[in-house]
Amino acid sequence: MKPFTLPQLSYAYDALTPFIDTETMTIHHQRHHQAYVDNLNAALAQTSETNPDLDSLLQRISEYSPAVRNNGGGHYNHSLFWEILSPQPKLKPEGQLDDSITATFGSLDELKAEMKKTGLAQFGSGWVWLYVKFNGSLAVSSTPNQDNPMMDVLSMNRGFPILGIDVWEHAYYLNYQNKRADYLDAFWSVLDWSAVERKYEEALSKVR
């Protein structure tokens, strides 16, 4: 089985300052994400998988151990997180995604408010998601730990993630301490909507 590897960032660890500090980025990527990759590879070595596709694996995660679920989710979620951040982000969506956000939430500001509300309501560790439901519509939800909407262990709020905000304390505590709300506000300053638009198109191609 070819092991999963830690993806390289397309920007330096200090590139997202002051919104996400250098030390948090370094620890988050080199230690936390690396640990998920290492533990996922170790957990899969105990299975009969020979060439696992991560998306497919998560969509049938009920067939696997908690170690595969937690670490597979951790690897997928963090990989998406790094991809949608940028030191020179596109700050507003355009085209079909913009239209869908307006139709679903009323405006971009209302989407941000909904995601902030959801993020603050998530007790303990977890993620906040903007995702494409299996019927092609947009929705916001949260998941605990390293779960995400693709996983078949969820009874509702399922679909393809296109934007995820990590609300584990390791994602913000060095810079924001217990002020999760401030972190959720700052996140939008480094979110690259061009990356989210690409993920939106990919998700739509899967539900059509």
Q: What is the CATH number of the domain that holds 197?
A: 3.55.40.20
Supply the pLDDT for residue 207.
87
pLDDT (mean) for 60-89: 97
Q: Angle at which helices 108-121 and 180-187 pack, to 10 degrees?
A: 150
Q: Is 118 inside any structural domain?
A: yes
Look up residue 181 and give its two tokens: 């709300």
Look up residue 96 and give its two tokens: 């079909």
Q: How far is CA 7 from CA 37, 61, 180, in A?
A: 10, 22, 26
Assess whether pLDDT exceeds 80 at residue 2. Answer: no
Q: Is 114 inside any structural domain?
A: yes
Residue 170 near residue 32, CB atoms below 8 Å: yes
Assess whether pLDDT exceeds 70 at residue 71. Answer: yes
pLDDT (mean) for 181-206: 97
Q: Which of 61, 172, 67, 68 is nearest to 127 (CA)?
A: 172
Assess whether pLDDT exceeds 80 at residue 51. Answer: no
Q: Is 196 inside any structural domain?
A: yes
Q: Is 198 inside any structural domain?
A: yes
Overall number of domains in the chain: 1
pLDDT (mean) for 133-139: 96
Q: Write the pLDDT tens digit of every residue in 146-174.
A: 999 999 999 899 999 999 999 999 999 99
Say if residue 187 is exposed, middle or buried (CB neighbours under 10 Å; 0-12, 13-18, 19+). buried
Q: Is 66 inside any structural domain?
A: yes
Domain region containing 193: 20-208
Q: Is 169 inside any structural domain?
A: yes
pLDDT (mean) for 53-66: 95
Alpha carbons 137 and 103: distance in angstroms, whole number: 10
Alpha carbons 149 and 26: distance in angstroms, whole number: 27
Q: Is 4 inside any structural domain?
A: no
Assess whether pLDDT exceeds 70 at residue 191. Answer: yes
Assess whether pLDDT exceeds 70 at residue 1. Answer: no
Q: Write the pLDDT tens digit of every residue in 16-40.
A: 999 999 999 999 999 999 999 999 9
Average pLDDT along the chain: 96
Supply the pLDDT for residue 172.
97
pTM of the model: 0.96
Alpha carbons 76 and 177: distance in angstroms, whole number: 25
